[in-house]
Every structure is written in structure tokens, then in C-alpha cells.
Structure 1
Amino acid sequence: MSDEISIDSMTKEQAAAELARLASLLAGANTAYHGGDDPVMNDAAYDALKRRNAEIEARFPDLKRGDSPSEQVGAAPSDGFGKVRHVVRMLSLGNAFEDEDVTEFDTRIRKYLGLPADATLSYTAEPKIDGLSLSLRYENGTLVQAATRGDGEEGENVTANALTITDIPHQITGAPEVLEVRGEVYMSHQDFADLNARQAEAGQKQFANPRNAAAGSLRQLDATITAARPLRFFAYAWGDLSAPLAETQMGAIERLAALGFSTNPLTKLCDGPAAMIDHYRSIEAQRATLGYDIDGVVYKVNDLALQARLGFRSTTPRWAIAHKFPAELAWTRLENIEIQVGRTGALSPVARLHPVTVGGVVVSNATLHNEDYIAGLDSKGQTIRDGKDIRVGDWVQVYRAGDVIPKIADVDLKKRPQDAEKYEFPTVCPECDSDAIREEGDAVRRCSGGMVCPAQAVEKLKHLVSRAAFDIEGLGAKQVEQFYADGWVREPADIFTLRERFGSGIQQLKNREGWGEKSATNLFNAIDERRKIGLSRVVFALGIRHVGESASSLLANRYGTWAAFEAAITAAQIGEGTEWDDLLAIDGVGAVMATSLVTAFHQGAERDMIDRLIAHLDVQEAAAPAVGDSPVAGKTVVFTGTLEKMTRAEAKARAEALGAKVAGSVSAKTDLLIAGPGAGSKAKKAADLGVETIDEDGWLALIDGA
């Protein structure tokens, strides 16, 4: 369509004529594709037409037609999916890889609940479907919304697409007024093979595996494409409810099946780890013949009241775990070892492999971890692979850890080339020639160049604009690389001074390849919109080593505001003082993370960079927990001694849920000490400071009904 008129140069009359042409073309394509199952154009051509239609409508909104293709089934490609905020977060699962991990999971559950080892504790065990998570919201029996998991808090609205999946009922009877059903969209092996055959016949791109095919199909911006894809759905969980489904996990699954949802027939009730592992073995033996991909078995505490007591960590429920299958293996040749420099300066070796299929996916790269791993040593200096090192030219065994990340498991010395040389790990950064230093006790060698190292600077900036951080629409990894190379953005604050430094900024940007006046304007507006941003996103965006997304949320929830957070971390001294103790008292924050955090705020150059960024932001206060009439909301409490009616972990989780701050030591800021038998020095210090002290019964009476 090279003879098409540029949208930027269109007159109003030309735009009206073009919209009429597009409406006719797309209507014909819809009829042929959806009604006649005989497409007259491929997906790419169809998407391009819808994108052009939407862009013209955006420039000339008053010309939008009554039969506009953008108002038909599906969303305009340029708009993408709408966002859906989950009422109940969609979390991921912790993983178990060995039988011992399952036993430890059961032990942790019992310890948290204060149950003896011989107490009966039942679990459900079900196949872990390798697909795409989907949430279905029913109101008064009608499907009103479908959303992907997204980042757990916000997903994509794919309602129109979900309505095309035959396993998903549009109407149900006998359900609670509000019912949010959760499950997995997947594609069977046979349907996947048939789809790829059709793709090949049409000269279109083939999918790597059923999971990718299912995900790509569900996320089509045109629901008619999704309708043509053979998607299926297993229900296995729920979110928002107006009334409970049952008293147990198994009972709830049976209720979902009675309501008309497909549930997995291999789901089974198991009494304890031995039965769980036996069922895992049974499912594993059937894996190749199931007809769909699974990558493990999920165990969940069956009693829903116990699930409620156990609650959640920052990203995973305490009451569930995924027992993953052993990684699949393949042999191939190692063609090269390349070094990548990450945002923390870590030099990460990557194996470039002769492409090989592992677990249904073509693998051409694998992680080599660090220089010890290449040399045949583990993190403690002990030999692995019988001490065999890894060399370029070697024949290596590749596996996919957790069926995701390719790694090298072994080396076949019989096939090693005679001229293969021992790999010498670099001692200087390949990006900036700065010394690459390996500190004592650290398994990783790191570039000492900091922000002068292009790789670190670019990776830090990419991290800053990533989805869980600032998530600036129109400013992704590709744009960051371009702006850095042009010298426009060298540190985070530079993003927020772009418009100021360029005047309107539009003229310089729109002349660059891939940019126009509209896209440039949209970018500057998107940057401005992100000046107002939540505290947890800012903390995560800083890219401080060991401080991930979940830790950032923990820190934001504890300190509430940027001012409080900045003051506390600035005042903290590593290994000593009240601020340090308070930092370590946060459940999920350890000494390594705390050290990294405090160090970042105490380093001159890095701190200056943080301060320059914050000067351009309006950092929003973290949302406080819904505590109702909690008698301890906003108070600092400390637990000491032995608790007899609940475990320490349960007491701490309960206090935090009621809006209290749980500290690890007594100070003048402490409001309340809960002391059990054997309280010791904390009780004495509380008495000296005049801090109110109560026993466990007093604590339970205080929070009763809250």
C-alpha cells in the first residue's frame, strides 16, 4: 500500500473517503473470516487496515462513521486492550522441584498454623496447566468481564475474546450474585498441530509451542481472530465472591463443575506429603499422553478457613505451591560464550548454542551463571559436573529449569575438540573497559564503571521505564536505547526534562525515524502523566540491587510516604541503630537487601541521581490497609517471648493486616509490647521506657472483632 496518502498530510475530504474505503474492506474481511471461514487477507494485512482506520479517526474524530470498524467486535489495534484492576490480586505460585521441597512446604504450613506433625491436614493436587491465566467475572449469572492476570493487580480486558471460547459459559445459574472464576486458557496438542499446519499453509508465522499459541490467540486485538483459534479453558480457582462457593477447595472445584465449567479430572484430595507426591508421580507418568501441556502439579490446602488464616506473602499465597516436573534435556554444540553487562554491573556469561528443541521450544541461548559455573564449581567452591569445565566447541546437555530458563547441565568430554581452549573470564568490562571486580564472597564479577558504563546506564534506564516501574507509554527499551545513543537521556531525571530542554520537543523528535507529530506529543504527555506515581513503583524503579518488585511493595507499605522512606534509609547505619533494626523487622527484608538499600542512599553519585529524579516527581502515599475500627492501626508493636495460642508469624501477619507496624526491637517509638513466657530483655527495656506491655490473652482480647 505504498501509494496510500500519509495520514499526517490528509485533508478532511481525503480522510472521509479513506474511512469509507476501510469500512468496506474490513466489513468484507470480517464476513469472509468469521462467517465464511475463508479469509480474504492474512492477519497482518487485516491488522494494518484496522490500525490505519483508528489513526485516521484519532486525527479526525468528527469523521468517525456509524459503521466504524473500531466499534465492531474487538478493539482497534492502535488502542490495545483496556485495563482491568483485579478486585482480588491474581498472584503467582512458589515452586517446589524436589520431594523434600513438598515435605518442607507441609512443615511450614503446620508450623505457621501451630499444628502438630500428626494432625490431619488435607491438600488438593491438580495438574499445572501450561497456558495463560484468565479471570472471568459473572454478575447475576452473566459473564460481564474477562481479564488476563497482567501484573497481578491490573490485567488486560479480553472479554470479547473470552466469549468466543466454547469452554466458557456466557450464562450460569445457581451461582453467587458475584462470581469471579479463574483458570487457564490452553490449546491441545492436536489443535496446536492443526493450527500450525494452517499457519504454514497460509505462509504465516508458526508458533513455538501450544502455550505461545494460546497466549497469542487470546491477546488478539480482533476477537474474530481469537474465535478462529481452538482455545480451551480449565477452571481451578476464584477471586471476588459475594458468597462462598464451599468450605473446602475440593468442594469449590466441584461446585464450579456443577455450574458448567470444565475442571481437570486429575484433581485429587491428598492427606499429607506422601499422598501428594504419589499423585504427582501418577500425573507425571501420564504427562505425555494427556493431549495438552502441563509443567507440574499444584498443591493447595483444602480447608478454606485455613487458607484464610495462612494468607499471602507479597506475591504468592502461603497455602499453595507448584511442584514442577524435572527439566527436559537435549544435546547440542556450544558455539560461543558472550558476556552481557546488566544494570547492576554484573558480567553474565551467555552460551550461544546451535539451535535445538528442548521441551517443544527452539533454544539457541542458555545462561552460564558466572565464572565458577563455567569452571565446574558451585557457589561454595565444590565441584559440579564432576569438575568438567565448559569450553567453546563443547557438546553440551541443555535443560530448561522449571521448563523456562535454558541452562547447561553437562559436557560430553568425548566430543570435545582437541583445540578447545579453557575459557578465561574477562577481568575488564567489555562495554567500557573499566575493571571488572569480584568482591570476596560474591560469585559475580561486576563492572566498576557505574553510570559511565553504557550497558549499566542503558539497562538501568530500561528498568526504570519497565512495566512494574514507571511504565511510560511509548517509551520502551528500544526508545531508551535510541535516546541514550543520541545523548538525550543519560540518567533517570533526563526523561522528565526532555520537553523542557527541547522546548516543545516535538520538532526534533518527529523528524526521527519512527516518530511523527502525534507520537511525539503522546510521548511527552505520557511522561508528564507519570510525574505523579506511587511510592512502590518509585522504589522499584530505582533499580537498587536485591530490591525487587515485591520488596518495593513491602517497603512502601511500611513507610507510607517518600519523605518517611527517604528519611529512614538515610538515617540507617548498616548493622546498628533503631532505623536499621526497623528495616530488618519488615517481613521479607533481610540483611543483604537492607545493606544494598542503605548503601545506595549513602553513595554520593547515586544519591544525587536519585534526588534529581525525585525533584521532578509527585510521589503518592502508599495506600494504607483497610483496617476498619482497628485498635492498633498506626501503632508500633513488638512481640517477644513464647506465644501459645498462635504462632509468631501468624500474630505478626494479623497485626500488620490491622494496620500496625511490627518492629523487631523495643524503642521509644514502640506503642505496645506483647510479651509471652520468657520475654527477657525486651520486657525490661519496655518497662524502663514506660511502654505498655500486655500478655497474649490481652492481645487477643484487644483485637477481638477487629
Structure 2
Amino acid sequence: MNYEKASQRITELKEIINNSNYNYYVLDNPTISDFDYDMYLRELETLEAQFPELITQDSPTHRVGGQSDNTFDKVPHTVQMGSLQDVFSFDELYSFHNRVKEVINPIYVVEPKIDGLSVSLEYVNGVFTRGSTRGDGFVGEDVTQNLKTIKSIPLKLAEAIPYLEVRGEVYMPRKSFEKVIQEQIDNDEEPFKNPRNAAAGSLRQKNSKITAKRKLDIFVFNIQQIEGKEITTHSETLDYLKQLGFKVSPSYPQFNNMDQVIDEVNKIGEKRYEYPFDIDGAVVKVNSLSDRTKLGATAKYPKWAVAFKYPPEEKETILLNVEINVGRTGALTPTAVFEPVQLAGTTVSRAVLHNQDFIDEKDIRIGDTIIVRKAGDIIPEVLKSVKHQENSIPYKIPEFCPSCGEKTVREGAQAAMRCVNPKCPSAIYRSIIHFASRNAMNIDGLGPAIVQALIDSDNIKTIADLYYLEKDKLLQMERMGEKSIDNLLNAIEKSKENQLSKLVFGLGIRNVGQKAAELLCNHFHSIDAVVNAQYNELIMIEGYGDIIANSILDFFSKQDNLDIIDKLKAAGVNMQQESEIQSDILKGKTFVITGTLPTLSRNEAKDIIEQNGGKVSSSVSKKTNYVLAGEEAGSKLTKANQLGVTAITQQELLDMLQ
């Protein structure tokens, strides 16, 4: 395909994909199948790889995520991103209303208060150029690349308005939160406390690929600055933002008296658990923007709005038992089993107690009257014990593994008790489930029930045994039909082709998550190199520290694990990591990137350089070949000039690739 046809096709693909994103993520009305969407996106990625000079800032391919800067640049807010005064009773709402009436005759807008992370989005000529966190209200952090992964944020507006800055609330939908929590529990990681905590942690990831996987969303609720458009009311603002392609507050009815406002606040409160996202209150705002100016603000809050906060729902119940589960890394996790109670719209009867320190701190004993709630209205948790049974004793996690009977250990300052027996049935069961999971080897059809059945029938003892399953033996198992067996064996065979990083993540090395596995394998490229890696080599990998390095050394020092690797090799499982390099045209060249580039982010420029064989450094030295300089290039460009290092523009970089 020539340049002209590629340019035309890229324009068509971007329009198709952007329209699809708007219909799916904003209107909740998908117009094409997931398969078709994936094919269009892949075609666009292929064309942009062939013609990198056609990559634009609003390309949908920017949403998939990539390496972000190790630090987030500071962003001063021209318009302060203030907070609202909280009120907790209807009397306080009436007091607010009386203060407002002294100045104006108000009309109010009432909206659900989404519990998330406030951000600013900036657009120049209708194109998304920068996104930042609220920070302290005056200065935030640049998280543009991570925000681009949120598909309900338009990269290009329906109208090329000269300048627009809007404020929105980034949140994690309940389904996404539950999935992330389960993955963290499966990986023996400390789970997020609530969706807001999860959204904040996800938005500040240094690797935006992780942000993309967290499935964040946003509601836009305010215009901070605008050029080229006059707006007089808040409701008009939301209507206009909706026309531009934003996902705005889910409801914003208007009322002219406080009794009606309170009725709406009650209605929102009654259905708060029906929303697919977390809310912690309702926001009451004066609708007229000129009236807001008349009312003004205090040093801390605007006088034209308040946030009514709903109290958390807490219930008393009786702790019946504490069950102990053994995770894939051997960690013993205690779970409280209590008399069922209704919380946040569902019946709950179990909650994780985390570890012995948590139990000791709250002095939890079987038979206690306890108070439970849902953290973030989603995850059940034990808040405290309020009454002990007579003659009760403090609960202690068993010193012996409930699965294999081996003595457990508590390593160093770690909170978890662990079973270190490599042949522990529970640990093997969970390690195989993890190995087959989507982010690891992605063996479709190998769910918990099948894994347990394969273990019980003595068909597998380790993950490596999966690749030696025989159809004749599987046919002898109960509830295993020939078609399902064929599908399972085909999925296992297909998994042999996975990248090495999938396998390494699937091995379940403690403290080595999906990203750490990718970094490890991209650095060493083969399992033999990984197995033989030394501490001083591991510690040089970006993002690696003492804990991860020692976890890897410890894992591959055990003969049982080396035997599993040998068995996987013999079965034909891929042991190599393919390079993402597309050409070696920049091989041997070291670049430093500084300033703001015309259409590429620094991370996108970094990816292009590395995919074509070059290296990117964070500092200028005599070994630097080129400084890629954009607008407002600072001290790095000055140093380059002093050292005689060649400075190039974005276009000159792209010309090098031709």
C-alpha cells in the first residue's frame, strides 16, 4: 500500500474505531462485534507501524498503553481544582439553602457523587493534549498516557473547539474492581481497600499497559476553561459536553426548592447499590454560572455547592468460624465465617481476615459479636469485635498446614504464615489454576473443577504434567466428554506457543507479577538465561529491587522447580522471548528525549526508537548520539549543545526510519 492510500485508510479506521468506542463506552450501545473491532484496531496498528509518520495524537492505538515516564511531571492548574464542603444531615442542607437564598433565588442541580479520582482533561482544537490529577488543587501530575487508556475519554471531540479544559471523576466499575481484587488475592498480594483506592493506584501506574487492563472509566462533570463557546448554566454545560462526546454525570435534574432536592438525595441513596460504580453521596449545585459568581467561595470551598455524604452501612453479626485457605505461594489466609447479613444490597457471610497481625489487632475470637461492612460497598470486611463470648480465647492461625500437615513458617517481617512444602496439595491446586489463567498460559477450559478432578484422579501432580495428559486416561474420568477433552488438549497444545514471559508469570514466582515477568524475559530472552541469572544482573533490570531479585534466585535454586522447567522443555513448551524490534535501522544509536513533541508523547517516541533498534537514555552524555528535542526543551538540550551532541526534531527522527 502506498503512502496516499495508507493515509486514507488510517483516517477511515480511526473514524470507525472512535465511533465504536463512543457507542460502546459512552452510549452503552455497541454497533460492531468485538471481533470486528479487534480486526480494525489490528489493521490500524499494522499501517501505523509501516507508516510511523502518519501516527497522530488522537489515534485509537494510543489507548492500549505502553511504558510511561518513571516520574510524573507537575502540572499547575490555571483554574483551581477545589473540593466541596461535606454535609451529613438534611438540617445542614437547609442551612446551606438559607445561606444561598440570602444572595440569589436558586435553582439547584443534583447529581450522584461518584467516588473516584478527580482529573483535568485539556483539548486544543478538539484534540486531547494533556490530562492531569487534581493533586493539591493547585498543582497535579501529568498522567496523559494513562488517561488515554480510558476508552470513554474522547481523543478527538465532535467539534474542534479552540481550547477546552474539563474536570471529571475517574473510577473503577464494580465488576473491574472485583476482578482486580480476585487477581490480587490469587497472587497473594495486598488487595486494594476500595474502588477509589484502586482507581488512584491504577491511574498512577508507571506502565500504562497495567492501567489499560484495569478497565477504568470516567464521568465528566464540569468545564474549567473554554474558548469559542458561551455557556450560562451547569445543566447546559453537561448537555454541551455530551454533544462533544463526553460521558457526563448519569443524572442531573433541576429543582427550585430544598424539599425537592432532599427527595432526590433520598432517591439516589436508595438506589446507590444499583449503580455499576461506587457513589458516596450526592452533589447539590447552584445551576446558574452567574449566580455562582455572586455567591463566591471561602478560602477552602465554593459557596454554591455542597456534597451530601451517605453513612456507611454496618451490621452486627456472630463469628461462627475461621477457615484457613492455602494460596499458590503457600500463604495461609484466614477467612471469617459469620451469620449471614444484608449489606449493600446482597447477603454476605464471609470476609477475609488477612493475617495474624490483623486478627490480633482487632482481638477477634470465634463466637464474637462483630461489626461487618462492605469496603467500598463491595468487599465484605470485619470492622471490629464488639463483644467476646464468655471464656473465649484469642484466635491463632494453626502452626501446621491444614492441607498437608507440614509445619508453617513466618518469614522475617512478613505478615503471612506459609506452608513451604512444595508438594502441598492446596498449593499445587492453586498454582495450576494460576498457570492456566488468562494472563499466564491462558489454557481455556482448565477451570478449578477440572483441575481438582485431574489432581484427584492422579493425572497431574505439577503444572508440567498438563503437557503429558493422555486422552484415553481422561476418557475414564467422570463427567469428561470426548469433545471437552479434545478442546482441553487443543488449548494445552496451543499454550506451548506463548511468549516466555507468559510461562514465567505462570510459574508463580513470589513477588513476580505479569509486568515483572515481561521485563525479566525481555532482558534475558531465554529460560536458560533467566535460570542462570546472577543477582547483579537482575538488580539492573528497570523496576527491579532486592525483593524481586532474591525471589527469582530463590525459585530457581530449588531442584523441584528446575525439574519442572526441564519437563516443560521436553514437552515442547516455548522457552524463548521474541523481540519486539521491527528493524535495526537505529542500532547502536542512543537517544535522549526532551521537551514536548508535536504529535508523539515521549513514551511513543521511546517505543519507536527501541522498536527500531535504538536505545533511550534519561541523561545526556558524550555517548549520546542524538537529543530528540521538542518545545520547551530545557537543560538536556543545553547540555547537548555544550557537548556537541546533535539535536533533532520529531520529523527528523521519522525521516531516519524511511
The 8 Å contact of residues 624 and 659 in structure 1, kept in 2 or not, is answered as no
- The 3 A distance-change label for structure 1 pair 363 and 691 is same
Q: Structure 1: where are the runs of 5+ without partners?
A: 1-79, 94-107, 131-151, 155-172, 177-182, 188-233, 238-245, 268-282, 299-323, 377-387, 662-668, 677-682
Q: Structure 2: where are the runs of 5+ without partners?
A: 1-32, 42-59, 85-111, 117-146, 150-156, 161-169, 175-216, 221-228, 230-234, 253-263, 282-308, 628-634, 654-658
Are 1:426 and 2:376 counterparts? no
TM-aligned CA deviation for residue 612 of structure 1 = 2.4
- The 3 A distance-change label for structure 1 pair 90 and 620 is farther
- TM-score, normalisation: structure 2: 0.52
Structure 2 counterpart of 1:113: 73
Structure 1 counterpart of 2:412: 440
Are 1:494 and 2:494 counterparts? no
SS of 2:498 mapped into structure 1:
strand
Are 1:580 and 2:563 counterparts? no
The 8 Å contact of residues 625 and 658 in structure 1, kept in 2 or not, is answered as no
One-letter code of the match for 2:650? D
Are 1:295 and 2:278 counterparts? yes
SS of 2:550 mapped into structure 1:
helix
Describe how 1:549-564 pairs up with structure 2 within 5 A: 549-556=514-521, 558-559=522-523, 562-563=525-526
Describe how 1:327-406 pairs up with structure 2 within 5 A: 328-376=313-361, 388-406=362-380
SS of 1:427 mapped into structure 2:
coil
TM-aligned CA deviation for residue 443 of structure 1 = 0.8
- The 3 A distance-change label for structure 1 pair 458 and 327 is farther
The 8 Å contact of residues 625 and 657 in structure 1, kept in 2 or not, is answered as no
Structure 2 counterpart of 1:531: 496
One-letter code of the match for 1:696? K
TM-aligned CA deviation for residue 490 of structure 1 = 1.0
TM-aligned CA deviation for residue 703 of structure 1 = 6.0
The 8 Å contact of residues 625 and 646 in structure 2, kept in 1 or not, is answered as no
Which of 595, 604, 607 is the equivalent residue of 1:657?
Answer: 607
Structure 2 counterpart of 1:597: 552
Q: Provide the C-alpha distance between the structure 1 equivalents of 2:344 and 2:404, rounded to a whole number of angstroms.
A: 38
Structure 1 counterpart of 2:121: none
The 8 Å contact of residues 536 and 553 in structure 1, kept in 2 or not, is answered as yes
- The 3 A distance-change label for structure 1 pair 120 and 366 is same
SS of 1:426 mapped into structure 2:
coil
Q: Deviations over 1:11-58 (max 9, x none)?
A: xxxxxxxxxxxxxxxxxxxxxxxxxxxxxxxxxxxxxxxxxxxxxxxx
Are 1:473 and 2:438 counterparts? no
TM-aligned CA deviation for residue 336 of structure 1 = 0.3
The 8 Å contact of residues 630 and 659 in structure 1, kept in 2 or not, is answered as no
- The 3 A distance-change label for structure 1 pair 692 and 659 is closer
TM-aligned CA deviation for residue 528 of structure 1 = 1.3
- The 3 A distance-change label for structure 1 pair 580 and 530 is closer
One-letter code of the match for 1:704? Q
Are 1:696 and 2:636 counterparts? yes
- The 3 A distance-change label for structure 1 pair 636 and 701 is closer
The 8 Å contact of residues 236 and 253 in structure 1, kept in 2 or not, is answered as no
One-letter code of the match for 2:345? G
The 8 Å contact of residues 398 and 406 in structure 1, kept in 2 or not, is answered as yes
Structure 2 counterpart of 1:624: 580
Instruction: Indicate the structure whose relative CO is greater, using CA pairs within 8 Å and at least 6 residues apart.
Output: 2
Which of 556, 571, 574 is the equivalent residue of 2:533?
Answer: 571
TM-aligned CA deviation for residue 329 of structure 1 = 2.4
- The 3 A distance-change label for structure 1 pair 184 and 580 is closer
- The 3 A distance-change label for structure 1 pair 515 and 289 is closer
Structure 2 counterpart of 1:201: none
- The 3 A distance-change label for structure 1 pair 593 and 110 is closer
Q: Provide the C-alpha distance between the structure 2 equivalents of 1:261 and 1:570, rounded to a whole number of angstroms.
A: 51
TM-aligned CA deviation for residue 489 of structure 1 = 1.0
Q: Provide the C-alpha distance between the structure 2 equivalents of 1:111 and 1:120, rounded to a whole number of angstroms.
A: 24
Q: Deviations over 1:424-478 (max 9, x none)?
A: 321111111112011121111111212x110111110111111222222222111
TM-aligned CA deviation for residue 513 of structure 1 = 2.0
TM-aligned CA deviation for residue 113 of structure 1 = 2.3
- The 3 A distance-change label for structure 1 pair 439 and 660 is same
One-letter code of the match for 1:372? D
Which of 470, 475, 478 is the equivalent residue of 1:513?
Answer: 478
The 8 Å contact of residues 332 and 355 in structure 1, kept in 2 or not, is answered as yes
Which of 436, 455, 463 is the equivalent residue of 2:434?
Answer: 463
The 8 Å contact of residues 546 and 596 in structure 1, kept in 2 or not, is answered as yes
- The 3 A distance-change label for structure 1 pair 124 and 518 is farther
